[in-house]
Amino acid sequence: MKSSALYRKTITIIMLLGAGIFVMTQAAHADADEVLQKLKETKECQGCDLSRLELSGASLFAANLTGADLSGTNLSGAKLTYVKFRDANLSKADLSSADLSNADISGANLSGANLRGANLKDATVWGANFTDADLSDATWTDGQKCQEGSNGVCLK
């Protein structure tokens, strides 16, 4: 009889914890949707948290993301022409095949980012951290392709 009551209490606690986690996840998702909607409308999201979001294929032409946290965000294939990423955190972000032409990524943290096949032509990269970033087959700021195996630096 005691083990049956303990079992019911344990199941109840597990269900309540699961419900709490679900509610918190939904609230975080709603906040992310709100931030994305604001970004699309205003092209302005300075210092905001866009970490670990799914933004593949997004068109953020000329948006201002100065100081934003985009760590772990999927921006593969995104149109990021003229975007200001100055001092932004793009560590471990997926920027494969993204168009970063004319973007300002000065001082940005791109450590461990996937920039395979990205277009960085005419981008401003002064002071950006490319440590362990995959630049294989990327188009560098001067319009030249980076060789396969370009890791942290564009090998031409």
Q: Which residue has the higher pLDDT, 11 or 98?
A: 98
CATH superfamily of 44-156: E3 ubiquitin-protein ligase SopA (2.160.20.80)
**CA–CA dist 123, 154 (Å, integer):** 14
**CA–CA dist 1, 149 (Å, integer):** 65
pLDDT (tens digit per residue) in 38-80: 888 899 999 988 999 888 888 899 999 999 999 999 999 999 9
Do 74 and 94 meet the contact criterion of CB atoms below 8 Å apart?
A: yes
Determine the pLDDT at residue 10.
61
Determine the pLDDT at residue 22.
46
**CA–CA dist 114, 133 (Å, integer):** 6
Does residue 105 have a pLDDT over 80?
yes
pTM: 0.78
Does residue 21 have a pLDDT over 60?
no
Does residue 29 have a pLDDT over 60?
no
Q: What is the mean pLDDT of residues 117-136?
A: 98
Identify the helix (H) or strand (E) that includes residue 22.
helix 2-42
Determine the pLDDT at residue 12.
61
Q: Pull the structure tokens for residue 7.
A: 């079992």
Determine the pLDDT at residue 25.
38
pLDDT above 70 coverage of the chain, percent: 80
Letter string b/e over residues 97-112, b meaning 16 or more CB atoms within 10 A of that residue's CB: bbbbbbbbbbbbbbbb
